[in-house]
Chain A
Amino acid sequence: MNQPIPASAFRRLGGRYGNTMFIALALVAIAILVNVTPLKEQTWLRVLFGISALNFTLRATVPLVLGALSGILCERSGIINIGIEGMMLAGAFGGFVAKTSTNHWPLAASLIFSVAVAVAIGGLMGAVHALFSIRFRMDQIISGTVIIIFALGTSSYLYNRDAIAEGKFSSIALPGLARIPVVGPVLFDNPPITYLALIMVVVVHVALFYTRWGLRTRAVGEHPRAADTVGINVNRYRYVNTSLGGMLAGLAGAFLVLEAVGQFQEGMTAGRGFISLAAMIFGNWNPFGALGAATLFGYTQALQNELLLAGVTRVPRQFISMLPYVVTIIAVSGLVGRVRPPAAEGKVYETEGSQ
């Protein structure tokens, strides 16, 4: 406990990611420069760095970073979660059903209730994943696949095409901060779940690295036998973490339905859960790393959008739409030996003599 926390925090934030942070800061500087000077009249610069591109980036980043945090919570405790896509979709659908059944409530109450339902459903899916993986010793990748297929099937089966969600979250400009040029409208004038997602990055980081719970979670994911020996209930930590992870995925679903789109569409997660996993790996299972990776992937989605809208290129739109997926493949391929997953991930833990 005598460890100098600020120093280790900086090492974790800055040290290993020093170069990345420098590049990020340089990009922010360019973005500000472009948007406050006549440079914004240049079509290509506007496409790459305009306020609209930055706004879109953040909107695309939110579900990805929530999904990646979900993955981090599960995997740091040793449970592989490829079912994030399904948990997100289930959360989105649950949020949608809750919203459509409470349309007559005051808007804020109805929205908050719907978010709670989405989060609860996501958590439930997480708990099911944990139950499959731990109690029934199902292969964790297959269990995740079951979650995905089940969420796809159930949401399509129960989806009532006539139901319409009335209203969604609107932006809340933070007083003062929102008036900073460029940074203000991009970061400080957003709907609530966006703020919440950014706060969750800090919360998960602090919880994982500066609390007893976090230390134990990491121990369970790295060396369950050792953790067990000192009296930590390995499987209880795995149940709790996987359920919490499911809740974060559910929140990502709530974001899609209640903040970004305002309606439900079948299969609306469109691979975001999987891209989140790539962001988690790219970010080396660290919350801030995941935020950086999610921002990169979010930016490729924004770029795709801006390029199509601006009509500045004759490259067929299909190739532009491939950007996020191709970048994801390149990202997970370019990491030989540079990232390391939790050691005990994917393995069933059994106490001695439980056979």
Chain B
Amino acid sequence: MATASTTTGFIRLLRALLIPFLALLAALLAGAAVMLLSGDDPLAAYSGLFQGAFGDGKSWARTIRKTVPFVLTGLSVALAFKVGLFNIGASGQFVIGSVFAVAVGINFDGLPAFIHLPLALLAGIAGGLLWGAIPGVLKVYTGAHEVIVTIMLNYVASLLGGWTVYAGGTQGQTPGPLWDRTAGAISETPDVLSSAQLPWLFGPPYRVHYGIFLALAAAVLIWWLIFKTPLGFEMRTVGHNMRAAHYAGIRVNYTIVLAMALAGGLAGLAGAIETLGLNHKFAPEFGGAVGFDGITVALLGQTHPIGVLLAAFMFGALDGGAAAMQFESGVPADIIQIIQALVLAFVAAPLIIRMIFRLRRQTHGDAGSAVSTSWSGP
């Protein structure tokens, strides 16, 4: 009996992986078609991409390093999906998390690392929590749709982050509070103190920091939260049917705000890890794109934490190999963005994949992920 159940479990896992895998395949083929049409060589591009992602130790290190933020922003979007909300705000939460973490990281000289580093990481999480809670609160109390609010907050976050490191204007404006006074006209913070830096797992040239373990731990924690705790059950119930959840006595508003805050916290942690582990400072141009990619990662991973890990690794490889691809084959790295959009399209619409590969229709699970909620009112 035990074998039988593990076999069905295995088959179910394979089936769950089938659509994302075929979606990736179809997207790579379609990407090749785009390259052919615009006169680029897809074979050279993909081999450059592969070399850049997995060619040697340094490539592996880069791929793993790039995977870390995707895991966290992917989890952020996936967690919000579980309560039926669409968090497009991961990039803003990422930026605010970075700013908070750096604010702690450049101050408190003399603190021992085992206090300073966790404090800085927690500050990053707290920043993300706050920024993520705003759309949750507005959704619950005013009915403002989270899609619009999170997108607007992305712009506000990026401007706010820019201001904290602002080098001061020509009209004598006060410089931002985190600006590095020795940096002249450059808008950036001083370096994070070494006691708040996330240490290298392997130092240069294999630049991998301990953030990968934080990301893995976060994935396990979120899996546990969603599938093994009463709170997770409540979140999933709210996501399935808000009205039923309400009648069942679940505090829907509380659950929504909490889920959005936690989603923000995850993206904030991503920002904290990137600044404390890699950049060691904050400048206005950091962050941004990883938040938007979190959406694709979450959907490609079927909003399951383990799936998110796999999808994030794939995105880390695509991103890690992109520069090498452009260098080796001359194909602009932007093709990666097209492939990512295609992956998203194919994953979100399993019907397309089933049509392309002539798969039999399943009785359930064909409709793709559903997140649409109407514009006003929870």
Contact = CB atoms under 8 A, between A and B. Distances in A.
A332 B144 contact: yes
B291 interface: no
A336 B143 contact: yes
Interface in A301-353: 311, 314-319, 321-322, 325-326, 328-329, 332-337, 339-341, 345-348
A142 B371 contact: yes
Given A150-B341, A154-B338, A341 B376 contact: yes
B96 interface: no
7 contacts: A139-B348, A157-B337, A281-B148, A325-B159, A332-B145, A337-B376, A347-B372
For chain B, which range describes its interface: under 10, 10 to 19, 20 to 34, or 35 or more residues? 35 or more
B49 interface: no
A141 B86 contact: yes
A139 B156 contact: no
Contact of A138 (B142, B335, B348): B348
A145 B147 CA distance: 11
The 10 A-B pairs of least Cβ separation, nearest first, read A153-B337, A157-B334, A318-B163, A150-B341, A346-B372, A138-B349, A149-B341, A136-B349, A156-B334, A153-B338
B348 A146 contact: yes
Interface stretch (B111-119, B169-177, B227-235): B169-177
Contacts of B338: 150, 153-154, 157
A316 B376 CA distance: 34
A233 to B, nearest CB: 21
B302 interface: no
A283 B362 CA distance: 42
Interface in A134-192: 135-143, 145-146, 149-150, 152-154, 156-158
B328 to A, nearest CB: 17
B306 interface: no
Nearest to B88: A145
Interface of B: 34, 38, 86, 88, 138, 142-145, 147-149, 151-153, 155-156, 159-160, 162-163, 166, 169, 171-174, 176, 292, 295-296, 299, 332, 334-338, 340-342, 344-345, 348-349, 351-352, 366-377
Contacts of B169: 316-317
A141 B156 CA distance: 22
Given A274-B151, A318-B162, A150 B345 contact: yes
A136 B371 contact: no
A56 interface: no
A231 B15 CA distance: 40
Contacts of A275: 152
A194 B348 CA distance: 37
Contacts of A157: 34, 38, 332, 334-335, 337-338
B148 A332 contact: yes
Contacts of A135: 351
A271 interface: yes
A1 to B, nearest CB: 33
A343 to B, nearest CB: 9
Interface string A250-282: 000000000000000000000100110110010
B375 A329 contact: no
Given A138-B349, A322-B156, A341-B375, A158 B38 contact: yes
A340 B376 CA distance: 7
Nearest to A321: B159
A201 B336 CA distance: 39
A137 B376 contact: no
A331 to B, nearest CB: 9
A134 to B, nearest CB: 11
Contacts of B142: 332-336
A152 B292 CA distance: 12
Contacts of A321: 159
A142 B348 contact: yes
A137 B372 contact: no
A336 B376 CA distance: 8
Contacts of B341: 146, 149-150, 153
Contacts of B373: 346
B69 to A, nearest CB: 17
A132 B163 contact: no
Given A141-B147, A317-B173, 4 more contacts: A153-B336, A274-B152, A317-B169, A325-B153
